[in-house]
Structure 1
Amino acid sequence: MNASPAEWSGEMVARRGALARGWRRVRPLLFLIAGSWLIASLLDYSARTASAHEAPAGFSMGLLHGACMPATWPALALGKEVVIYAVKNEGRSYDLGYTLGVNLCGALFFGMWFWRWQKWRQSRTSP
């Protein structure tokens, strides 16, 4: 029953190709969900410990929380409770860091996405 690849029938090759294509479509989604869950857990831990300490969260902690916040969306959508903002913070400096982190993360993500999309479109139009 275990035939070598040279002895495979056309149906076996087609079935194996379909499974490989299916896995190539599912694997990035699984990595996205797992990565989001990990980042959400780290952000939740960071925000909770920042609230528990006596020293309020400052600019650098706001930058970190802001940069991680967009990546937590899939985990939030799946029902994980995530603290995405340190309640005990320094005020304006934390808010500036948070806003800058969100914007830098968004610029990086969308910049990479548009670059790949443009590259894909060029490859389709080029001979």
Structure 2
Amino acid sequence: MKPQQATRILACAALALLLSACAAQIDAGVATGEDVPGFWWGLWHGFIFPWAWIGSLFDEGIAVYAVPNTGRWYDFGFFLGITVLGGGSWFSSKKRRRD
């Protein structure tokens, strides 16, 4: 790895850390109970995110993220749904051909 690449990676990581430090969830968005979306609903919502987002542009009743939810477990399921089931990791795992 070239020193210039390492510097860019560190700068991007520092920027991501700085921006994520500002993230917070309001207490009203986190709830408990049987009917509150948890990990499995987060996984499903992450998987259908592209279609839900398109639908939300045309219908105010469609949301891409459930509020209230169980908090961290819902977020973790949502993240997995987007990255793993949604194809995020598949696209990045393809090796580039060098001709």
Alignment TM class, shorter chain as reference? 0.3 to 0.5
TM (normalized to structure 1)? Answer: 0.38
Higher helix share: 1
TM (normalized to structure 2)? Answer: 0.47
Choose 1 or 2 for highest CA Rg.
Answer: 1
